Amino acid sequence: MALPVGLAPSAAAADVQSQQWYLSAMKADEMWKTSTGKGVKVAVIDTGVNPSTPSLQGQVLGDEVSKPLSYGATKDINGHGTTMAELIAGTGNGGGLKGLAPDAKIVPYRVAMRGMSLAEENKAPDPVAVLKAIADSDVKIINMSFADDISYDDEQAAIKYAASKGKLLFAGTGNDAETTNKKMYPASYPYVVGVSAIDKTGKVGKFSNHGASVDLSAPGVNVPAWCNASFRSYCSHVNGTSVATAIASASAALIWSAHPDWTANQVLRSLIDTAGREWPKDTPSNYLGYGIVRPRKVLENPHYNPGSATADPLATENWRGKPGTSPSGSASSSTPSAPAKSTPGGATSAADASSKSSGNNLTWVVVGAAALVVIGGAAFAVIRSRRRA
């Protein structure tokens, strides 16, 4: 796959921030009066992050990544990881992307991705080690804008460990909706919030994965992004669940910054409870999950009750509907049977849920991509190489 994030960028964008339509749709200016993400660290596991772009200067904490996991962390190979970081925490300086949580900080990591040379893949840090390191740090949110159709037991265990340490994990559900619609990871792992992509009308993108892995949806259609690793210009009309994942992570950062004593369960529950939807909350859609993220609805309500600190709001999905305990050992609030994620849901504004909707108005889509497994080196080590979501 040649293009980053399964995206299709077109001409270079002259005025990037004017193309960030979701900022006005989500009423970012109003939210920033209450929260800008200050005090929240977001780990971006991706193609590396360039800390020298005008929008990211002072925003990237590369020194907090220990060796050997620091290899490539602050050198982006194609602009994808830098775009995700800017969408989350960019300051907008120099006409660059304005992050939804502009005072959050980015902790960068590089893992093997499709499009890397074999040499780069071999040098890339082990994703399991990366996840464990993040779990043991003071990072609150883990952004994983990539997708792989192979599940790994050790990776799943590392995800569970990170969740047990109070981290909130987001991942893109994938971009091959019009082809195979395979189940993708890490979005399909328990404890990971799978994010699909919507356009400015609230419709799911044609490319965006549907299925049980979709927990929330966020803007991810027609957004500017860095064209390549030269960092000379942005490209417009970029699409991908990668973008949606970054917006969801930034939404969580805004809420967590305003409520630093909340747990990951409470932050996620607030996103689910206030998500834009026009269908029953206990019957999530295959296409939009529990709905479109609307952090403003939490931030504007000083009396919002986030519920139990220990009960997992996705317990039904994480335990296949069986009662159990949370990753930290606390009792969960799972229900006897998992809700059928078969309702398409409707088109809903990124800011409000008042628009009329119909399942037929959605662009129904599927996802899928085979993971690239590279065999190389004298020891024939298996390198996990992921698609950008």
Single out the catalytic residue among 217, 242, 249, 270. 242
Cα dist. 75→79, 99, 291, 369 in Å? 9, 20, 35, 26
**What stretches of the chain show up as alpha helix (H) in DSSP?**
21-25, 28-31, 80-89, 118-123, 127-135, 153-164, 241-258, 264-273, 296-299, 315-318
To the query of whether residue 259 is one of the catalytic residues in this protein, the response is no
Phi, psi angle pair for 262, to nearest 5° = -70, 155
**380: Cβ–Cβ under 8 A, 6 or more apart, which residues?**
none
Single out the catalytic residue among 35, 55, 76, 80. 80
To the query of whether residue 46 is one of the catalytic residues in this protein, the response is yes
To the query of whether residue 242 is one of the catalytic residues in this protein, the response is yes
Single out the catalytic residue among 35, 46, 188, 210. 46
Exposed/middle/buried for 98, CB within 10 Å: 0-12, 13-18, 19+?
Answer: buried
DSSP 74-122: T--SSSHHHHHHHHHH-B-GGG-PBPSSTT-EEEEEE--BTTS-HHHHH
Positions annotated as catalytic residues are: 46, 80, 242
